[in-house]
């Protein structure tokens, strides 16, 4: 089995909801990190075999966010790309898929990552297409509906996280300590 290495890791700054990045699309954010990741790794965009990008809130971005990021980053249009939606795990899943493809000998160089901009998630008016006949129409917050709502338990994911923390007696202090350990490990790597 082939060894897989990550040769570059880039992220944008984290902005506030409705803040400095509210007018910057997820495609634009993804393009910035894709270009910079290739630059830091000294990888010519023309030798990339595939692009895999995670994105959850896709409404209004156009087809295949990964493809858009790929082309805007200077990767040839012939290079295949696909978008992964595994909610919060989307970006991480792209790295796993890339590693699997490289280990299997399907590719040598894969650009993997994720991009999102919750500030640009639209509102949905599902009845608008065919006309709102009578009564009130409901506008739904797409960010909450497709990004933050646990459809199976009919609850917000923040509540789900709190329930899990309570179930396993995982305190806020435990979470903070794990964050510090994780950050330290990332710096050491």
The 10s digit of each residue's pLDDT in 78-109 is: 999 999 999 999 999 999 999 999 999 999 99
Please give the torsion angle defined by the CA atoms of residues 97, 99, 105 and 107, in that order, rounded to the nearest 10 degrees: 70
**What is the per-residue pLDDT across 102-131, written as a single tens digit (0 to 9) for each?**
999 999 999 999 999 999 999 999 888 888
Find out whether 36 and 11 touch, Cβ atoms under 8 Å: no
Q: Which domains does the chain have, with CATH numbers?
A: 26-120 (3.40.47.10), 123-184 (no CATH)
In angstroms, the CA 90 to CA 113 distance is 8
**What is the per-residue pLDDT across 2-29, written as a single tens digit (0 to 9) for each?**
999 999 999 988 889 999 999 999 999 9
Please state the pTM of the whole predicted model: 0.88
């Amino acid at each position: 089995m082939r060894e897989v290495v990550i040769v570059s890791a880039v992220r944008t700054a984290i902005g506030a909801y409705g803040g400095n990045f509210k007018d910057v699309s997820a495609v634009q954010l993804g393009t910035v990190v894709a270009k910079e990741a290739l630059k830091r790794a000294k990888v010519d965009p023309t030798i990339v075999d595939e692009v895999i990008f995670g994105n959850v809130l896709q409404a209004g971005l156009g087809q295949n966010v990964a493809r858009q990021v790929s082309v805007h980053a200077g990767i040839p249009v012939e290079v295949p790309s696909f978008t992964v939606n595994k909610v919060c795990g989307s970006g991480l899943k792209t790295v796993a898929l890339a590693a699997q493809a490289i280990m299997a000998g399907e590719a040598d160089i894969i650009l993997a990552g994720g991009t999102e901009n919750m500030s640009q998630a639209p509102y949905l008016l599902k009845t608008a297409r065919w006309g709102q006949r009578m009564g009130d129409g409901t506008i739904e917050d797409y960010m909450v509906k497709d990004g933050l709502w646990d459809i199976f338990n009919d609850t917000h994911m923040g509540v789900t996280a709190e329930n899990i923390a309570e179930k396993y007696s995982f305190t806020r202090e435990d979470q903070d300590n794990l964050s510090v350990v994780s950050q330290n490990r990332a710096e050491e790597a």
